[in-house]
Structure 1
Amino acid sequence: MRQLYHAAFAALLFVAGPAWAQSTTVAAPAGTIEGSAQGTVRVFKGIAYAQPPIGALRWKPPVALPPWQGVRKATAFGPACVQPKSSVVSIYANPPAQMSEDCLTLNIWAPKDATGLPVLVWIHGGALLGGYSHEPLYDGARMAARGVIVVSINYRLGILGYLAHPALSAESQDDISGNYGLLDQIAALGWVKRNIAAFGGDAANVTVAGESAGALSVMYLMAAPRARGLFHKAIAESAYMVSSPDLKLTTHGTPSAETAGTQIMKALGAADLPALRAMDAGKLTDQAAAKGYGVWGTVDGAILPRQLVDIWDRGEQAPVPILAGFNSGEIRSLGILLPPAPGDAVAYESAIRSRYGDLADYFLRLYPSTSITESMLATTRDALYGWTSMRLAIGQTAIGQRGYLYLFDHGYPAADDNGLHAFHASELPYVFGTASETPPYWPKVPDTIAERRLSDAMTSYWTAFAKTGTPVATGQPDWQPYGKDANYMAFTQAPKPGQKLFPGMFALHEAAVCRRRAAGDQAWNWNTGVISPILNKAAMCR
C-alpha cells in the first residue's frame, strides 16, 4: 500500500507540479525549444530565426528555416554577428566572446505564467557596425518580471549587412541590393509573429524598440512597407534621422550605394562578387571598416522607398504610437562626432555666419560664443538626436497617433566627475534595470535608493507603453502625449513633466535640413555648426 501511495504521489507531482518548471520546453510552430529558468522568468537563448547567411547566402535576403524535428536546446546565447575588432578602450567596449556569420538568432525572456502578454522586441545599437543582442546591459529579465515578453535580436552588421553592388542588384528580382541587416530584422519580427504565442506572447501587441543604431533601425522599420503590420508601437532612444544613400543615384552629396560598393570591392582587391563572397568574413569586415566603408540603410524604392524625412513629411510611416527621446549629454561620450573648435569667439561666430547666413543670429542665440565647447556639444546633440526625437513625436501626432517625448538629463558622480553627464546610452541601465551589468569601463551607477527609484520609474513607463501605448508609472507624474502643448518628460533625479523642450531648437534644425534638401547636394548628419555646408535661402523653407 505504501509503495502504491508513493507511486501515486510521484505521479501527482509530475502532472501537477509547478507548471513553469515544465514550461521551459515550448512547442512552437518553428519546432520544440528547451530553455532555462532564471528565477520566475523563462529564458530561451540563441534561437535561430533564419538560415545561416553564409556561402551562397551571403548578401542574400534571409531565408526562413523549415520547422525542425526533435528538441532544440536554447540554453546558450548564439554568437554575435561578425564585426570589426577594436583595441580602442571606451566606456562602450564589451566585445563579444564569439562572432560568426551564422548569427541570425534571437533571445526570449518570458514570465513563468505568460499568457497573451505584450511583446517588446529590442534592436541593439552599435552604428550598424557592432553590438549584439545578448549584451548584459540588455538582459530582459527585469522587464519580463513586470509582465512583458522581451525579445532581443541579432542582425547582420557592417559590410556583411549593408553592402550594395550592381552585381548583387542583378541577382535580385527587384534589381536592388543592400539592407540585408534590415531584412534580418523584418524576418525576426515575422518569426515573432508566427511563434511568440507559444511563449505566452500576443502577436497583435508587439513594440519595436532600440537605442542609437537600434533606434535608426526602428525608423527604418517604420518606413519599410514589408514591416507593416509586424509591430504596433515603437520606442526610439537617441534616434538620428540622417540622410541615406540612394541605391543607384548620387543624391544629397552622397555617392550611390552601388558606387560605394563598387569602390570598396576594388579597395579590398576582389576581382568580382564570387571573390568577395570567398573572403574570410572577419578579414572582410575588418578591412572594410579600416578603409572607411560607410554603413547605412539604402534608399532602394522597395525596402526603403525614400528618405526618412520624406516618409515622415508625407505621413507614410507606420501609424503607431511612439515613445522617443534623447540624452542631454549625448556627445560628451561621442567626441569623434565633434569638429575641431575654433580658436576664439570671433572665429566661432565668423564660421557660423558664413554657413548659416540669415539663420546665424538665430543660431547664435541658441548656441552662443560665450561657451564654445558647450555650444558645440549642444549643436551636434540637437542636430542629430534632439531634432529627430521631436520630429518623431510631431510626426506621429500629425497622423493621429500618440507621441511621447523625453529628455534624459540624469547624472551621478562617476559620470559627472568625468564630464559625462547624461552621456549617450546612459539611460539604458535605468530602462532595463541592469545597473549592475554595465560594460567594464562604463561609469558605475551607485547602488542607492534614489538610483533604484529612478530605474523603477523608467522601467515602469517603458513596460506600460509596451502594454497599452500609454507610459504610466505608479506614484510618478502623468506623462502627457506631445500634442499641441509640446509636452515631454524630463528624467533628472526623478521624472518631471515639462512643455516646449529647448524652445527654438527644433525650428532651427528643421530649417537647416529643409535648405539642405532643397539644395540637393548636401547631406545632413553631424556636419553641423562650424562645419555645416553653406545654407542658402530656399523659398519653400520656413
Structure 2
Amino acid sequence: MVATTDIETADGIVRGRRGRRVLRWRALPYAAAPLGEWRFRAPQPVRPWTGARDATEFGFAAMQHRAGARIGPRQYQPTSEDSLTLNVTAPVTPSATPRPVLVFIHGGGYLMGTSALGLYSGARLALRGDAIVVSINYRLGAFGYIDFSEYSTPERPFDSNLGLRDQVAALEWVQRNIAAFGGDPGNVTVFGESAGAHAVLALFATPAAAGLFHRGIAQSPPADWAMTAEDARVFARRCVEALGAQPGDAARALTDAPANDIRKAGARVIGQVLRERPGLFPACPVVDGDYLPQSPIDAFTDGAAHRLPLIIGTCRDEGTLFDKFADGLPTNPDRLHTVFGGAGEGAEARVIAAYPGYPRARTAVRMGGDYVFWRPSVTVMESHSKHAPTYAYRYDFAPRALQLAGVGATHATDLIPVFGATDGPIGRALTAAGGRHGLQAVTRQFQDNWLAFARTGAPLPSWPAYTEERRTTLIIDDPTRLEHDPEQAKRLAWQGVRVSTLS
C-alpha cells in the first residue's frame, strides 16, 4: 500500500516528496484558513481543489512571537493565521496491511511551537515501528486559547476552545484520509509533550473527540491547567482592554485588528497573569459547559474521561529548564508561597517538610516543577487507572552535558529519545561529554514501549500497569528499572493542592 507520493484525499490530490526511506507530505490543510469572519470561529471545512496540490514544503506556523517558530540556527518559520495544516510521514516500503497511526501534538505552553521543527519529523519513529506519523499545527495564544464568546453578536459570533477544536478537526481529517496514506483509522494514538500532553488529556475529556483516537500518551502534562468560565471572561476582558478596545466595540476590534496587534495584547496580559498568579496559566482550554464540560483533571477524577489506554509521565528535573531559560513558573520561594495562598491551612508547611533543603534554590526549583507537572499527573494516574489501562513513567536520564549545565533530566529532554534523535546533531551535542550508550539505551526503551503501545494498546510486557495499590512506575534511565510509589512522601504531601484562580 502507498508506493506513490500522489494521494487522493477527500479534498483533492496531494503531491508529497519521496526520500530514500520515507515519504513525506507537508502542510496538508485539515480546515479552512480562519481568516476574516472566521477568525475566532470553530474550524470550517476545507475548500476542495482540482489538480495536484504541492505538499513538499511547510507552510506557516500559527501566530506567535517569531522566536517561538524557530526551526534552526537563524531560521524561523513565517507565521500566519492561515496555519491549520498537518504533516504525514510514512515508510517508503509498501505495507500489505494498514499501519498504526501516531498523531503528535507539539508543546510550547499553548503560546508557541510548530510541527515544522526538525525533531518532530517522525521519520525514525515511523521506520522503527512501521507506522504512520502525523504532526499538526493548531491555533495558539490569543487566537486559540482566549474565549471571546462574551463579545458575540448576532452578526458576529465567537467560539470557545479554538485550539482544542482544531485538534479535534485534525483527528477528523485523520479518520477521513489516513487510509489513503496506508494508515489504519481504527488504530490512532495521540501523543504530545508539555502543552501538547495537556492537549492529549483535554481530548480525553472532550465529547466531540470520542471515537477519533484509541489511546494516548502524555509526556509531562501540566494536567490541571484549565480556565473556569468566570476566569476566562476576566482574562478576555483584560485582553480586549490591552487591545485598546471598549466592550461595546470589542467584536469589531477583534475582527478587524491586525493579527500581530491581537497577539501582542494577549501576550502582555498572559505575562501579567503569570506574575500575579504563578502556576496559573491563562492561555489554556476553558470549561465552557458545552464543548469542554469539565476540566480535564476533573473528568479523569470523576471517571468521565474517555476510557482508553493511557501512558503518562514526567521528567525528574522538570523545573530546571524554566528556572534557567524561561519565566512565569513557581520555581523560587516567593512564587511558591503565592501558589499556596488558596491551598488550605497547613498545605505549605506540609509540602515544605517533604522537600529537605528548602528554601535552597535547587530544592525550590524541584518543588516548582513537581507542582506544575508531577503533582497533577499523579492524580490522573491514580484516577484513570480505576477505569482503563494506565502506565506511569519518570524520565531520569541526563547525559553529562546536561548535568554540567545544571539542568539534568529536565523538561522536554525526553523528546530526543522518543523521536530517535540520538544520531542527529542534538544527540551528538548532548553526548559529546559522554552518555552516548545511555542515550541509545533510553531511546530503545521509549521507542519500543511507545510503538508497542501504538500497535496493541499496551507497552512491552516488562512494564506493568499502574494501580493505586502498587503505583508501579517505569524509571527510564541507564539502566531502566521499576519502582513502586516513587517519592511517596512528596506524593502524600501534595494531595489536595490545586491551582489558584484568576477571579
TM range (shorter): 0.7 to 0.9
**Counterpart position of 1:117:** 99
C-alpha separation between the residues in 2 aligned to 1:218 and 1:95?
29
**Preserved CA contact (<8 Å) 2:42 2:159:** no
* Aligned pairs, number: 477
Paired letter, 1:266: E
List runs of 5+ in structure 2 lacking aligned partners. Answer: 272-281
1:481-496 equivalences in 2 (<5 Å): 481-483=465-467, 484-496=469-481
Structure 1 pair 422/281, CA: closer, same or farther in 2 (3 Å)? same
C-alpha separation between the residues in 2 aligned to 1:211 and 1:45?
21
Q: Percent identity?
A: 31
Alignment equivalent of 1:224, drawn from 185, 190, 206: 206
**Preserved CA contact (<8 Å) 1:122 1:152:** yes
**Preserved CA contact (<8 Å) 1:136 1:438:** no
**Preserved CA contact (<8 Å) 2:340 2:347:** no
Paired letter, 1:156: R
Shift of 1:244: 2.3
**Counterpart position of 1:267:** 242
Shift of 1:68: 2.6
C-alpha separation between the residues in 2 aligned to 1:131 and 1:181?
13
The alignment partner of 2:284 has SS state of: coil
C-alpha separation between the residues in 1 aligned to 2:479 and 2:152?
51
Paired letter, 1:233: R
Paired letter, 1:316: A
C-alpha separation between the residues in 1 aligned to 2:89 and 2:359?
46
Structure 1 pair 46/156, CA: closer, same or farther in 2 (3 Å)? same
Shift of 1:279: 1.7
**Counterpart position of 1:501:** 486
Alignment equivalent of 1:316, drawn from 299, 304, 324: 304
Encode CA deviations 1:442-480: one digit per residue, 9 max, x unaligned: 9634483332232122111111111111112xxxx8111
The alignment partner of 1:99 has SS state of: coil
Alignment equivalent of 2:186, drawn from 204, 208, 214: 204
Pairing 1:190–2:172 present: yes
**Counterpart position of 2:132:** 149
TM norm structure 2: 0.87
C-alpha separation between the residues in 2 aligned to 1:504 and 1:55?
53
Structure 1 pair 179/76, CA: closer, same or farther in 2 (3 Å)? same
Alignment equivalent of 1:367, drawn from 355, 371, 374: 355
**Counterpart position of 2:407:** 420
**Preserved CA contact (<8 Å) 1:79 1:96:** no
C-alpha separation between the residues in 1 aligned to 2:72 and 2:193?
13
C-alpha separation between the residues in 2 aligned to 1:466 and 1:152?
15
Alignment equivalent of 2:390, drawn from 390, 403, 407: 403
1:34-183 equivalences in 2 (<5 Å): 34-86=15-67, 96-112=76-92, 113-114=94-95, 115-145=97-127, 146-170=129-153, 177-183=159-165
Structure 1 pair 233/274, CA: closer, same or farther in 2 (3 Å)? same
TM norm structure 1: 0.81
**Preserved CA contact (<8 Å) 2:41 2:158:** no
Paired letter, 1:260: F
**Counterpart position of 2:277:** none
C-alpha separation between the residues in 2 aligned to 1:492 and 1:340?
28
Structure 1 pair 94/311, CA: closer, same or farther in 2 (3 Å)? farther
Q: Which has the larger radius of gyration?
A: 1
Structure 1 pair 409/93, CA: closer, same or farther in 2 (3 Å)? farther
The alignment partner of 1:429 has SS state of: helix
Structure 1 pair 264/359, CA: closer, same or farther in 2 (3 Å)? closer
Task: State the Cα RMSD in Å.
Answer: 3.0
C-alpha separation between the residues in 2 aligned to 1:172 and 1:323?
44
Paired letter, 1:425: A
Shift of 1:311: 1.2
Structure 1 pair 512/451, CA: closer, same or farther in 2 (3 Å)? closer
C-alpha separation between the residues in 2 aligned to 1:330 and 1:387?
12
The alignment partner of 1:451 has SS state of: helix
Shift of 1:182: 0.7
C-alpha separation between the residues in 2 aligned to 1:51 and 1:87?
23
1:427-442 equivalences in 2 (<5 Å): 427-435=414-422
**Preserved CA contact (<8 Å) 2:355 2:490:** no
**Counterpart position of 1:280:** 258
Shift of 1:172: 9.9
C-alpha separation between the residues in 1 aligned to 2:151 and 2:342?
43
Pairing 1:444–2:425 present: no
The alignment partner of 1:80 has SS state of: coil
Shift of 1:261: 1.5
Shift of 1:382: 1.9
Paired letter, 1:421: G
The alignment partner of 1:488 has SS state of: strand
Which moves more between the two structures, 282-291 or 92-101?
92-101
Pairing 1:235–2:217 present: yes
Paired letter, 1:180: L
**Preserved CA contact (<8 Å) 1:471 1:479:** yes
Alignment equivalent of 1:297, drawn from 281, 285, 309: 285
**Counterpart position of 1:338:** 330
**Preserved CA contact (<8 Å) 1:46 1:74:** yes
Which moves more between the two structures, 282-291 or 45-54?
282-291
Encode CA deviations 1:511-531: one digit per residue, 9 max, x unaligned: 223xx7xxxxx439xxxxxxx
C-alpha separation between the residues in 2 aligned to 1:354 and 1:133?
37
C-alpha separation between the residues in 2 aligned to 1:266 and 1:361?
39
Paired letter, 1:387: R
Paired letter, 1:184: D
C-alpha separation between the residues in 2 aligned to 1:150 and 1:443?
26
List runs of 5+ in structure 1 lacking aligned partners. Answer: 1-18, 250-254, 343-347, 517-521, 525-542
C-alpha separation between the residues in 2 aligned to 1:143 and 1:188?
20
